[in-house]
Chain A
Amino acid sequence: GAGVSQSPRYKVAKRGQDVALRCDPISGHVSLFWYQQALGQGPEFLTYFQNEAQLDKSGLPSDRFFAERPEGSVSTLKIQRTQQEDSAVYLCASSPGQGLKAEAFFGQGTRLTVV
């Protein structure tokens, strides 16, 4: 497909379990962003990659959150020892230019529920 693809679409994790969320950006897009969207709220920034370099991780809420994009394409957001407050929709976006100089395209998100 031509859009940003995220998998899985839904994930239920037991508290304390580790999870990995995948993002396939639009081919050739330089920039990749992760956001967290709690129920009834707007998305909140987590981290930003330019190619394989993680240039901004200021939004990651704790050291349990880790993101990587080793080859400058697919990205994985990992959450260790999940807690109930991690329940949210995790959105990935990609952009063809540096940062937000061009439009960012969002995936449908992964809904994580921690029980």
Chain B
Amino acid sequence: GDSVTQMEGPVTLSEEAFLTINCTYTATGYPSLFWYVQYPGEGLQLLLKATKADDKGSNKGFEATYRKETTSFHLEKGSVQVSDSAVYFCALPTPPGGYNKLIFGAGTRLAVHP
């Protein structure tokens, strides 16, 4: 069945460091791919998405490219800030054609210190 695998955290970085959070997926067909973020005390928020192969989603300085050949959707940011500290989830919708539910990875906690 469809699945999402994320790198385990926590990830601890200094401010202005480069961030990569790996995400790979298994899916039937070519679904859209999402990154959600959960800030402390808040609900999940959509961070960015890509709807087809080679698409690049971007928002708030974060980017992720839909790589069909490696079935990956890694999240990157060139210079993280303390305010980026949160839990990040990679997700894909299923089933193909229906898209009624999201399958989430286990989440990666990011802590950025000054």
Q: Which residues of A contact B (CB under 8 A)?
A: 3-4, 33, 35, 40-45, 48, 55-56, 59, 91, 93, 99-101, 103-109
Q: Look across to chain B and name the residue whose beta carbon is closest to the beta carbon of A33.
A: B101
Binds A, one of B14-22, B37-45, B66-74, B77-85: B37-45
Which chain A residues lie closer than 8 Å to B103 at the CB level?
45
Instruction: Render B68-107 as a binary contact track against A, CB cut-off 8 A, 1 for contact.
Output: 0000000000000000000001010100001111111111
Q: Which of B44, B45, B93, B100 contacts A43 (CB 8 A)?
A: B44
Contact B106 A91 (CB under 8 A): no
- Whole-angstrom distance from the CB of B56 to the nearest CB of chain A? 18
Chain A, residue nearest B89 (CB): A42
Contact (Cβ within 8 A) A100 B42:
no
Point out the residues of chain A lying under 8 angstroms from B43, CB to CB.
Answer: 3-4, 91, 105-109
- Contact assessment for B44 and A91 in the assembled complex, using a CB-CB cutoff below 8 Å: yes
Contact pattern, B 41-75, Cβ under 8 Å of A = 1, otherwise 0:
11111100000000000000000000000000000
Q: Chain B: how many interface residues by the 8 Å CB criterion?
A: 22
With beta carbons under 8 angstroms apart, the residue of B93, B105, B106 that contacts A100 is: B93
Which label, helix, strand, loop or mixed, suits the secondary structure of the A interface? Answer: loop
Residues of B in contact with A (beta carbons under 8 Å apart) = 4, 32, 36, 41-46, 89, 91, 93, 98-107
Q: A41-B106, A41-B107 are in contact. Are A103 and B46 (CB under 8 A)?
A: yes
A91-B43, A106-B43, A109-B43 are contacts. A43–B99 as well, Cβ < 8 Å?
no
Contact present for B106 and A104 (CB under 8 Å): no
Minimal Cβ-Cβ distance residue in A for B109: A40
- Asked if A42 and B46 sit within 8 Å, CB to CB, the answer is no
> Which of chain B's residues have a CB closer than 8 A to the CB of A106?
36, 43-45
Are A100 and B107 interface neighbours, CB within 8 A? Answer: no
A43-B44, A106-B44, A108-B42 known; A99+B98 contact, CB < 8 A: yes
Which residues does chain A contribute within 8 Å of B98, judged by CB atoms? 99
Residues of chain A within 8 A (CB-CB) of B100 are 48, 55-56, 99-100
In the complex, the answer to whether B44 meets A99 with C-beta atoms within 8 Å is no
A43-B102 CB under 8 A given contacts A103-B46, A108-B41: yes
